[in-house]
Structure formats: C-alpha cells, structure tokens
C-alpha cells in the first residue's frame, strides 16, 4: 500500500508539473497548448543528449558533451524553454485575435509537427535513459521505496511552489495575472502583453520540460511519442483543479496519479485499463460539472 | 399570387460541378494505372466520408472533435463483432452466406455510433469549447484502449479477421474496382443526404450556432438540441463508414485506426476548407493521393513520420495564411435564390389569425421583476405593462437597467424575482428560444447578424420554427419541405421590402452598410412573426435622415400589428414614435406616461439633469 501511494505521488507530481504548464498558459491565452506534451519530450531528450558521450541525432553520430547530471538537466530545461518560445512566436502569435477554434487546431497541429520532428531527430523507437545513481531502494513500514520517487515528488513540490510564488509575489507575476484577467486593460496600463505571453510560455515550458526529464528518469526511457498520454492526463488534472489555478492543477495531478496507481494495483485488470480510468474520470467530471471541479461558470454578456 | 422561381438556370450550373465530379468518379478505375491506385481511390472515398462527417461538427457547428475516429471504430467493430464473432463463431454460419447481414450491421452501427455521439455530445450542452476538445480526445482514447484490451470481444491487438467481403447473393465483390464502386455509392448517398440537410433549417441552425449562439437561440432555435444533433449526425456518418471499411479490408485491428487518424481527418477538413461543402472532399482526395505518391519517395520510406509532419506543417501555415482552406465557395444554406420580382411589402404578420386581444388591453405584464448579479442590483422591482397596439418607449440614463430588463424579457437572463406574463402565459424562466416561439422577438444593441450568411439566409433562420422538421426528411429532400421553404422565401422577400432592404437580399450580411444591417436585423426579427418586438437602441450610430426613416419603419411595424418596446438614447426618436414611455433609473421605474407627461415629470428631469436642474 505505502509503495503504491509513494509511486502514485511521484507519478502524480509529474502530471502536476505538466498540468501547471497547461493551466498557466490557459490562464493567460485562454487556449489549451497541446504542444506541452512535446516540450515534455524535448526536455527529456535535451537532458539525455547532454548527459551522453555519444548518441545519434537524425541518424548521424553525434558526440555528446557528456555533462554531469545536474548540468544535463539544466540543458534539458533550456531546450524545452526554447521549443516553447519558438512555438509561441511562430505559430500562436499571428493568431492572437483569431477564433478559439483556430487556435486549438493550430495547437494540435503544432503538437503533431513537433512529434514528427522528434521522431526524425531521435528515432521511432525508445531510447534508454540511464538511471540516476541515488542509492538502493530502502524499506519503510515493510514497503520498498525507490529513492527516485521521493526525489521526483520533492522536486515537483518545490518547483510548483517556486512557480506559484513567482506568479504571486513578483512584478512579472503580477503582469502575468493582469494579462490573464484582461489583456486589453493590461496593455493600456503599459504592460508589454506580447512579452508577458512569451514569458509565460517560457516558464510553462520549463515546468513541462522538468516533468519530461523526471518522467524519463523514472521510467528509464525517452521516445518521440512519450508526451502524448502524460499530456492528456495532465490536461485532465488541470481541468480537475479548475484550469487557470496553479495549486489546483498540481493537486489535480496528484489525484490522477494516485487514482491510476491505486486502480492498477487493486482493480482486476486495472493495469490494462489504467489510462481508461484517468480519462473516464474526465468524462465523468465534465458530465457532472462542465465548468470543472473548482472552475466557475462564465457569465455571458449581451 | 404566382410564385415565380429563379431556380431554372442556377439549378443547371449548380448541378454542373457535382455532375462532372460524379463522371470522373465513375470512370476513375478505368483511368487509374493498376489496382494499387484503385485501392488508393477507395481509401480516399473513406476519408471523404469521414472528413464530411467531421465537417458537420468542426466546420458547420463550430465544435472541435479530436476523437472523431472513435465513432468510426465503433462502426467497424460493430459489424466485425456481429458478423464474425456472433454469427460465424458462435452460431456457426458460413461467412459466405452472410451477405444479408450487411444492412443489419449498417443499422446497428448507425444506432451505436449515434448513441456514442449522444454520450460525447451531451456535455457540449454546457461545457466550454476547450474542455470539450480535451474530452473528445480522452473519449477517443477510451474507445481505442477498450478495443485493444477487451480481447474477448475485439480480439485485442490481433483484431478480427475473416470479415466477409461485400456481396450480392452469391456474387462476391472482392476486386478493388468492385470495392471502389460500393464505397463510391456510399459516399454519393452520404453527400446527397448531407447537401439536403445543409440547405435546410437544420443546416442553417448549425451555422447560426457557429456564428452567434445567443442570437440563434433568440430566433427560436433550441441550440443544445442542434449541437447534440450535429454530434449524432457526424457520428452516424463515421459509424456507417466504419462498416464499409471493415468489409472492404476484410479484417480490422487496432492498427487500422491510429491516434493520428483523428488529427489527419481534422487536417483534411481544414485543408479543404472547414464549413464548405466540397472542402472535405477536395482535402481528402488531394491528401490521400499525395500520400500514396509520396510513399515511393526514399525520404518518406526512411522517415514515415514526415507524412503527418508535413500535413501538420501545412495546417500550421494555413491557419496563419489562409484559414479558410482551399475551397472558398461559401455554403448555400437554401436551394433557392428567392423571387425575382419585387414583392408587395408585408402588411401584417403573415399567417396570423385576427388578434383576439383588443387594442389598449395589456399584452405584456411585468410584475415586480428584479435581477441581481452577485451583490449588485441591476433591477430592483420593476412593474409596467405593454398594451396592444402601442409602441412603448423605455428610457433611462446609462446604468439604469434597460439592457438587463430587455435581457430578462427575452429570456437571455432569468429574473431573480417577479413575474412576466405575455398574453396570459408566464414567460419568466423560459429560455430565450422558447420566448421567441411565444412571439417575442428582439434585436441587439450592437448589430448581431450571421455575418457569413446572405441576407435571405439570415431571414430564413428567423423562420426556423415554422420550417423545422425531421432530419431524414430533409436528407431525402421531400417536396413538402421544398414548398415550405419557397413560401418562407417569398415571405422573406416581402418582409425585406417592408424594411426597405429588398435590394440587398442576395448580399452577404458582412457586406452591408450599417443602416442596412440595422434594417436586416429588424427584418430577421420580424421573420419570427412576433407579436411583440423588442428593439435595443436601433438608431445608435445612425445619422439624422436614417433615424427619421427608421422612425417611420417602427411606426409601420406597430401599424402592421406587432407591438413594440423601444429602448433608445435618441430622445427625438423616442418622443416622436412612442405612444407611452417608461422611465427607469437605478433599476426602478420612476415615471410612466405619454411623452408629454414624461417630459414634464420632475423625477425624470432630476434623473437626467441632476437635482440642481
């Protein structure tokens, strides 16, 4: 039981980080940036390539810098941030005043495009990721605990907390919140709205890339398609927590992570239907409360 | 009156494109070099059907569905499970004798996919567009995962083999050409039916919802129901297509439907032109043939991901450069262009019985109506009445609660307390589409037309309640509906003449001058045959002569038998046309009376000019 819970918290922490990315960008731009699943993937590969001595990129041999683990993670975060920034500048910026449907379609197309680029660069099959050296599994209350799970959960909590504090207490955070509430009013108050949106994308991308790196360390692989399912689950988490809210998104991630790990462990055939359960939760929520669990109803104005 | 129709000539040109396309489609197997290309053509047909189905949702109704393939999967597995798992494996039938089962499978798939569409569509009644997109994605994954993991029923990742081919009696249609023609027949039926539905009240309701949901419901359209209907229609098309696909392939497994197919079908709709009729057809044909050609290129063989990558790139660029897609021809939402001869202007709301309520008797009774938003009181306790045969002016300074009152009267917002009785029936608490059907129509403070539609199409939306009917009847193009529509068009012509904008009838709403937009909006409201018309600042933004002309139109509306409530900031207009005036301030009625009485009322002067005046 403890084992399952710890595992669920680690998985949930990863979903939570990614959910925060979706949530904060949704808050500012009012759109779901499906491409965060691919930023997640590029982050993982960025760290993997930076840590390796020699790898293959686009089928050609590539002498990696073989950086130490902490530096490689830093590179992964930077790669994710760059990908996120490029996506925002190239694909979304021209659509600032387009209908929401156009933006969503672009978002899904960007996600497919990045996945194809990922497949081209890193191959169609999974690349193994060496496990970080964190010592042996230890026993607590008769359960074997993997140190990586503890690390992942702690990192996720600290990162989300830092991110929340950034948005809550700093001038740039205030600009982000102002833009989220009313873009035009923010612009009139002298806030560089485009800059704020780009910053939000960069910050969100760093969170997504971090989630991707943690995911690849936990499961020992990286692959071009690795971001899709976690991305979808993170979206479920963000909706669960009331999209737009940072703590809500993170808690939503934990709920999804725990639910699916518990289901996999205790429901017959639960492992095979693990994903169905997470998505079933979403369908159920939107059936019962279309505005999300913590969301508020929007009032239409005539 | 002789109904002169302008069908004859346009009808010929209208049928030219489909006729040429049909001829090419029929000859295609003889033109294409070899069976491989005939198979490609058959696959293109499958995608044409899917893209056309998805277009109902994304293009016409403006609902994003990222899990559309789920309905296709439901259809394909329905026939596979019914035919192979049940009749062959369980009941021991010889698969070669099961050709009669095919229609049963079709009906089964239609029903099951329709149910799936309902399940998925239900939350759209209330959920926001982006939540919905996520949900469709999740729903698509659920169906796919179930098809992989429910091994007993679906054969798991192996799938189901031995699905009998298309057959008529003992004659098996297994050659690629035969398959092609069977699927072609399906596509033709789907497209013909779809064209019928698009050019009907149903199609217009879908587009109206996409353009402006609130206005659509104020025209009497039950918007929730039509959104759900869009899901059911799209899902049914995908389900039927799935059945044909399964019998064409003779096997299915989860690899037949990848996650990316959802995206591909969506892209084909966008590529060809979402919301056009031929867009999905063009998009699917171009892409499937392009993909088949590209398969021979070494770079694509080494990197199969380039295919979806390339399609994704096209979509991203397209959304920035040409969001409308390749086909730019706008949808025709009615089959007729209206009468060619200038009609008589409307004299009375057509088809109305003589009004049982005599002049001067109250028709609308507003009794102590209040509305609060959170802690803010927009309307305190408002009571007044509208009498038969009058124009009631509604005035008050900014923030007095006029717009809130109009929204409450038209069902857009519900009153927090009080009652509204219209001709004996309570209408507070009704949705705006029901209020419209009761005979209360409205216009909006800022003009809200369906900008992508022509003027006549806008007016036909106003006639929705009289024209609506059963979807299969529109798909079959029953003559009765064609007649109703022709009559409604004649009525629309005379309403336009009445409103002074008959000359604009074939123009797009977005191309009209401001004055004409206002008049068309009033004409569209009149098409609902209202007994009471609510006008929300109709003269805003008009110059002096336009305002004068508007005044005589408003008077003519009253004289033709429709009572009017007029909100207006232009005092000259309000004072000159109103029979009585109600003055609101801070959410309360402060004065009621004739224009002269109101003008002299000290409370009104104070509200407008302050206490020092």
Is A171's pLDDT higher than 80? Answer: yes
Q: Domain containing A179 — which CATH number?
A: 1.10.3470
The tokens 């396309």 sit on which residue? B21
Q: What is the pLDDT of residue B6?
A: 43
pLDDT bin (cut points 50, 70, 90) of residue B302 is: confident
Q: Do B123 and A273 touch (CB under 8 A)?
A: no
- As given in the structure block, the two tokens for residue B398 are 């900014």
Q: What is the pLDDT of residue A299?
A: 43
The predicted-structure confidence for B93-121, as pLDDT tens digits, reads as follows: 888 888 889 999 999 999 999 999 988 88
The pLDDT mean for chain A works out to: 88
The predicted-structure confidence for A220-262, as pLDDT tens digits, reads as follows: 999 999 999 999 899 989 888 877 889 989 999 999 999 889 8
- As given in the structure block, the two tokens for residue A269 are 């055939």
pLDDT bin (cut points 50, 70, 90) of residue A145 is: confident
Sheet holding B588-593, edge to edge: B440-442, B532-536, B563-567, B391-395, B580-585, B588-593
Please, what is the end-to-end C-alpha distance for chain A in angstroms? 54
Task: Give the count of domains, chain A.
Answer: 1
Please, what is the end-to-end C-alpha distance for chain B in angstroms? 60
Contact assessment for residue B308 and residue B459, using Cβ atoms and an 8 Å cutoff: no
* Shortest Cα distance, chain A CAs vs residue B207, angstroms: 14
Round to whole Å and give the CA distance between A221 and B239.
Answer: 37
Nearest partner of A240 among A249, A229, A232, A228, judged by Cα: A249
Q: What is the pLDDT of residue B7?
A: 43
Mean pLDDT for the stretch of residues B451-466: 94
Q: What is the pLDDT of residue A298?
A: 46
Higher pLDDT, A161 or B130: A161
SS3 call for B611:
coil
Is B458's pLDDT higher than 70? Answer: yes
Residue B392's H or E segment, with its range, is strand B391-395
The tokens 């054969």 sit on which residue? B155
Q: Do A276 and B66 touch (CB under 8 A)?
A: no
Give percent above pLDDT 90 in chain A.
Answer: 54
- Nearest residue in A to B316, CA atom: A106
User: Is the residue at A296 inside a domain?
Assistant: no
Q: Do A104 and B133 touch (CB under 8 A)?
A: yes
Contacts 24+ apart (CB under 8 A), B358-361: B358/B388, B359/B387, B359/B388, B359/B389, B360/B387, B360/B388, B360/B389, B360/B390, B361/B387, B361/B388
The predicted-structure confidence for B316-330, as pLDDT tens digits, reads as follows: 999 998 888 888 777
Round to whole Å and give the CA distance between B405 and B587.
Answer: 9
Orientation of helix B223-249 relative to helix B35-55, angle to 10°: 170
Contact assessment for residue B510 and residue B432, using Cβ atoms and an 8 Å cutoff: no
Instruction: Write out chain B residues lying below 8 Å of A302, CB-based.
Output: 214, 403, 407, 412, 444-445
The predicted-structure confidence for B11-21, as pLDDT tens digits, reads as follows: 566 678 788 88
Is B350's pLDDT higher than 70? Answer: no
Is B276's pLDDT higher than 70? Answer: yes
Mean pLDDT for the stretch of residues B203-232: 94
Q: Do B320 and A95 touch (CB under 8 A)?
A: yes
Is B553's pLDDT higher than 70? Answer: yes
Q: Do A95 and B267 touch (CB under 8 A)?
A: no
Mean pLDDT for the stretch of residues B39-61: 96
Is A90's pLDDT higher than 90? Answer: yes
Instruction: Write out chain A residues lying below 8 Å of B272, CB-based.
Output: none
The pLDDT mean for chain B works out to: 89
Q: Out of A112-121, A138-147, B388-397, pick the least confident.
A: A138-147
- The set of residues, in sequence order, having a beta carbon less than 8 Å from that of B525 and lying 6+ positions away, is B441, B442, B443, B462, B533
- Nearest residue in A to B64, CA atom: A101
Q: Do A113 and B126 touch (CB under 8 A)?
A: no
* Shortest Cα distance, chain B CAs vs residue A47, angstroms: 23
CA atoms within 13 Å, Cβ hemisphere of A151: 16
The predicted-structure confidence for A48-74, as pLDDT tens digits, reads as follows: 999 988 888 888 888 888 889 899 999
Contact assessment for residue B146 and residue B275, using Cβ atoms and an 8 Å cutoff: no
Q: Do A282 and B138 touch (CB under 8 A)?
A: yes
Higher pLDDT, A240 or A35: A35
Contact assessment for residue B19 and residue B157, using Cβ atoms and an 8 Å cutoff: no
A:31-60 residues touching chain B, CB 8 A cutoff: 31-32
pLDDT bin (cut points 50, 70, 90) of residue A154 is: very high
- The set of residues, in sequence order, having a beta carbon less than 8 Å from that of A195 and lying 6+ positions away, is none
Mean pLDDT for the stretch of residues A194-208: 95
Interface test with A, best of B116, B124, B131 (most A CBs within 10 A): B131
Q: Where are the beta strands (DSSP E) in B452-511?
A: none
Q: Do B64 and A276 touch (CB under 8 A)?
A: no
Q: Is residue A285 less than 8 Å (CB to CB) from chain B? A: no
Q: Tell me whether residue B426 is exposed, middle or buried, using C-beta atoms within 10 angstroms of its C-beta: 0 to 12, 13 to 18, 19 or more.
A: exposed
Q: Out of A42-56, A288-302, B195-209, pick the least confident.
A: A288-302
Sheet holding B425-426, edge to edge: B376-387, B362-373, B417-422, B425-426
Q: What is the pLDDT of residue B353?
A: 63
Q: Tell me whether residue B356 is exposed, middle or buried, using C-beta atoms within 10 angstroms of its C-beta: 0 to 12, 13 to 18, 19 or more.
A: exposed
Multiple choice CATH, B362-439+530-613, 3.40.50.2300, 3.40.50.720, 1.10.645.10, 3.40.50.300: 3.40.50.300
Q: Do A276 and B309 touch (CB under 8 A)?
A: no
- As given in the structure block, the two tokens for residue A65 are 């810098």
Interface test with B, best of A41, A279, A282 (most B CBs within 10 A): A279
Beta bridge partners of B166: B173
Q: What is the pLDDT of residue B342?
A: 78
Q: What is the pLDDT of residue A142?
A: 76
Contact assessment for residue A19 and residue A250, using Cβ atoms and an 8 Å cutoff: yes
Size of interface A-B (CB pairs under 8 A): 141
**Cβ-based neighbour number of residue B338 at 10 Å:** 23
Q: Out of B9-18, B184-193, B570-579, B596-605, pick the least confident.
A: B9-18
Q: What is the pLDDT of residue B174?
A: 87
Q: What is the pLDDT of residue B335?
A: 77
Q: What is the pLDDT of residue B8?
A: 43
Instruction: Write out chain B residues lying below 8 Å of A109, CB-based.
Output: 263, 267, 312-313, 315-316, 319
Q: Is residue A269 less than 8 Å (CB to CB) from chain B? A: yes
- The set of residues, in sequence order, having a beta carbon less than 8 Å from that of B432 and lying 6+ positions away, is B214, B217, B218, B410, B411, B412
Q: What is the largest CA-CA distance in chain A?
A: 63
Nearest partner of B556 among B349, B361, B358, judged by Cα: B349
Q: Do A286 and B149 touch (CB under 8 A)?
A: no
Mean pLDDT for the stretch of residues B294-309: 86
Round to whole Å and give the CA distance between A157 and B28.
Answer: 62
User: Is the residue at A149 inside a domain?
Assistant: yes
- Nearest residue in A to B266, CA atom: A105
Mean pLDDT for the stretch of residues B119-141: 77
- The set of residues, in sequence order, having a beta carbon less than 8 Å from that of B128 and lying 6+ positions away, is A290, A291, A298
Interface test with B, best of A18, A31, A92, A112 (most B CBs within 10 A): A112
Mean pLDDT for the stretch of residues B571-599: 92
pLDDT bin (cut points 50, 70, 90) of residue B10 is: low
Boundaries of domain holding A236: 2-288
Q: Where are the domains of chain B?
A: 36-259, 362-439+530-613, 451-527
Spell out a b/e string for B536-558, using b for 16 or more CB atoms within 10 Å of the CB, else e.
bbbbbebeeebbeebbebbebbb
Q: Do B126 and A290 touch (CB under 8 A)?
A: yes
Handedness of CA A52, A58, A62, A65 (dihedral sign): negative
Nearest partner of A223 among A8, A35, A38, A33, judged by Cα: A38
- Nearest residue in B to A29, CA atom: B130
Q: Do B319 and A124 touch (CB under 8 A)?
A: no
Q: What is the pLDDT of residue B611?
A: 58
Q: What is the pLDDT of residue B409?
A: 95
Please give the angle made by the CA atoms of A4, A5 and A9, to the nearest 5 degrees. Answer: 120
Instruction: Write out chain A residues lying below 8 Å of B131, CB-based.
Output: 239, 243, 286, 290, 292
Instruction: Write out chain A residues lying below 8 Å of B306, CB-based.
Output: 116, 120
Highest-confidence segment of A54-63, B344-353, B481-490 = B481-490
Mean pLDDT for the stretch of residues B420-435: 93
Q: What is the pLDDT of residue B2?
A: 39
């Amino acid at each position: 039981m403890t084992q399952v819970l710890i595992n669920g918290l680690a998985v949930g922490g990863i979903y939570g980080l990614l959910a925060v990315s979706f949530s904060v960008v949704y808050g500012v731009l009012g759109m779901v940036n499906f491409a965060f699943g691919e930023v997640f993937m590029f982050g993982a590969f960025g760290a993997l390539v930076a840590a390796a001595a020699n790898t293959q990129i686009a089928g050609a041999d590539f002498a990696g810098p073989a950086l130490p683990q902490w530096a490689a993670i830093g590179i992964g975060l930077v790669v994710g941030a760059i990908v996120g920034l490029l996506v925002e500048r190239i694909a979304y910026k021209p659509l600032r005043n387009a209908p929401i449907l156009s933006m969503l379609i672009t978002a899904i197309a960007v996600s497919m495009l990045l996945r194809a680029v990922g497949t081209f660069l890193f191959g169609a099959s999974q690349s193994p990721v060496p496990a970080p050296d964190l010592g042996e599994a230890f026993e607590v209350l008769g359960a074997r605990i993997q140190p990586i799970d503890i690390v992942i959960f702690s990192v996720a909590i600290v990162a989300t907390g830092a991110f929340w504090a950034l948005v809550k207490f700093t001038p740039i955070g205030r600009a982000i919140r102002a833009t989220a509430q009313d873009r035009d009013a923010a612009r009139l108050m002298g806030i560089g709205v485009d800059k704020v949106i780009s910053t939000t994308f960069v910050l969100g991308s760093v969170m997504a890339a971090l989630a991707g790196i943690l995911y690849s360390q936990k499961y020992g692989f990286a692959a071009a398609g690795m971001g899709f399912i976690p991305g979808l689950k993170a979206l479920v988490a963000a909706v669960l927590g009331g999209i737009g809210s940072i703590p809500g998104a993170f808690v939503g991630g934990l709920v999804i992570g725990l639910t699916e790990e518990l289901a996999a462990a205790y429901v017959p055939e639960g492992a095979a239907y693990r994903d169905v359960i997470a998505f079933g939760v979403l369908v159920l929520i939107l059936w019962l409360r279309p505005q999300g669990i913590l969301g508020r109803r929007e009032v239409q104005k005539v | 009156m002789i109904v002169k129709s302008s069908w004859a000539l346009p009808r010929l040109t209208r049928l030219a494109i489909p006729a040429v396309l049909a001829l090419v489609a029929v000859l295609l197997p003889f033109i294409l070099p070899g069976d491989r290309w005939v198979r490609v053509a058959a696959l293109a047909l499958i995608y044409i059907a899917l893209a056309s189905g998805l277009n109902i949702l994304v293009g016409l109704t403006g609902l994003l569905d990222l899990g559309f393939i789920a309905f296709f999967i439901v259809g394909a597995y329905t026939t596979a499970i019914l035919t192979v798992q049940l009749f062959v494996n369980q009941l021991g039938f010889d698969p070669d004798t099961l050709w009669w089962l095919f229609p049963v499978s079709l009906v089964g798939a239609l029903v099951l996919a329709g149910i799936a569409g309902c399940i998925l569509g239900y939350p759209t009644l209330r959920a926001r567009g982006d939540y919905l997109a996520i949900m469709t994605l999740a729903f698509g994954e659920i169906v796919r995962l179930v098809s992989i993991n429910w091994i007993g029923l679906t054969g798991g990742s192996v799938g189901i083999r031995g699905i009998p081919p298309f057959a008529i009696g003992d004659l098996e249609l297994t050659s690629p050409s035969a398959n092609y023609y069977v699927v072609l027949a399906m596509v033709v039926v789907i497209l013909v039916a779809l064209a019928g539905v698009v050019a009907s009240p149903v199609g217009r309701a879908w587009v109206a919802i996409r353009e402006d949901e609130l206005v659509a419901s104020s025209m009497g359209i039950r918007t929730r129901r039509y959104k759900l209907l869009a899901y059911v229609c799209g899902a049914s098309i995908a389900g039927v297509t799935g059945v044909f696909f399964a019998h064409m392939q003779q096997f299915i497994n989860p690899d037949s439907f990848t996650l990316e197919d959802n995206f591909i079908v969506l892209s084909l709709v966008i590529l060809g032109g979402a919301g056009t009729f031929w867009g999905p057809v063009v998009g699917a044909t171009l892409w499937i043939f392009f993909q088949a050609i590209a398969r021979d290129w070494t770079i694509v063989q080494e990197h199969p991901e380039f295919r979806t990558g390339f399609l994704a790139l096209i979509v991203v660029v397209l959304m920035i450069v040409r969001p409308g897609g390749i086909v730019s021809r706008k949808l025709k939402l009615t089959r007729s262009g209206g009468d060619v001869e200038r009609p008589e202007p409307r004299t009375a709301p057509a088809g109305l019985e003589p009004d049982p309520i005599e002049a001067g008797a109250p028709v609308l009774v507003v009794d102590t109506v209040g509305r609060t938003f959170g802690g803010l009181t927009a309307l305190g306790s408002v009571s007044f009445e509208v009498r038969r045969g009058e124009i009631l002016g509604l005035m008050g300074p900014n923030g007095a609660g006029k717009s809130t009152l109009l929204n409450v009267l038209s069902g857009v917002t519900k009153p927090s307390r009080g009652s509204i009785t219209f001709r004996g029936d309570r209408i507070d608490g009704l949705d705006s589409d029901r209020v419209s059907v009761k005979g209360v129509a409205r216009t909006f403070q800022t003009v809200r037309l369906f900008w992508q539609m022509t003027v006549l199409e806008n007016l036909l939306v106003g006639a929705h309640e009289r024209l609506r009917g059963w979807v299969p009847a529109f798909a079959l193009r029953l003559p009765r509906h064609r007649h109703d529509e022709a009559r409604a068009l004649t009525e629309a012509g005379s309403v336009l003449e009445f409103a002074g904008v008959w000359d604009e009838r074939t123009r797009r709403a977005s191309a009209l001058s401001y004055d004409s937009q206002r008049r068309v909006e009033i004409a569209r409201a009149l098409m609902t045959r209202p007994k009471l018309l609510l006008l929300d600042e109709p003269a805003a933004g008009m110059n002096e002569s336009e305002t004068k002309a508007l005044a005589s139109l408003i008077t003519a509306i009253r004289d033709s038998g429709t009572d009017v409530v007029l909100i207006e900031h232009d005092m000259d207009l309000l004072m000159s046309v109103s029979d009585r005036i109600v003055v609101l301030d801070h959410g309360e009625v402060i004065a009621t009376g004739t224009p002269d009485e109101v003008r002299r009322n000290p409370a009104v002067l104070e509200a407008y000019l302050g206490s020092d005046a």
